[in-house]
Amino acid sequence: MDVILLERIAKLGQMGETVKVRDGFARNYLLPLGKALRANAANKKRFESERATLEARNLERKSEAQKVAETLDGKSFVVVRSAGETGQLYGSVAARDIVDVLAAEGFNVGRNQVELNTPIKTIGLHKVVLHLHAEVAITIELNVARSADEAERQSKGESLTSADAIYGVDEDALTAADFFDPEADGDNEEA
């Protein structure tokens, strides 16, 4: 189906372009959300008459996104989750959780604006891209940790997935004698 784009859409085209898309994408996404019009003579005339209004609205949205981007770009947010000794989370951090963390800090970002292909399943520092507008994308850092104290240690560059970091034990310095009691008698042997 041929459609006229009413706004810039990533990997598809610029405002005003006539592009060919799959019927389902047009019917289920572009047309209902007002992002495109069917490409016919009447809609082309309608688009040309409304072009100035659409461009002004797009510019306004872009400037609002730029303001939010200036305050958000490069910021770090702490997410506290339960995790095992190896740093594997008991659960995950998904786009919904990122939106909640940003909302707690006073930023209004939609879940569809968070680019997260797979949920975060380990502790550590993770980069997340936010698409605030079709032409405005920024990167924030998520510090996923077991506690606020560990988050602070991670932000200084410390890895918290080893026994040394968690318990204060140097794994490389351990010997077999540290695990077995040489004074133990052999009462547990079978006769």
Q: Which residues pair with 18 in a beta bridge?
A: 4
Give the pLDDT of residue 191: 46
The answer to whether residues 107 and 128 touch, using CB atoms and an 8 Å cutoff, is no
pTM of the full predicted structure?
0.70
Q: Which residue has the tokens 């610029």?
A: 14
The answer to whether residues 125 and 154 touch, using CB atoms and an 8 Å cutoff, is yes
Distance in angstroms between the alpha carbons of the first and the last residue of the chain: 83
Secondary structure percentages of the chain, helix, strand, coil, to 5 = 40, 25, 35
Provide the token pair at 80.
């506290």
The answer to whether residues 162 and 85 touch, using CB atoms and an 8 Å cutoff, is no
Per-residue pLDDT of 121-159, as tens digits, reads 999 899 999 998 888 889 999 999 998 888 888 888 777
Does the pLDDT at position 9 exceed 90? no
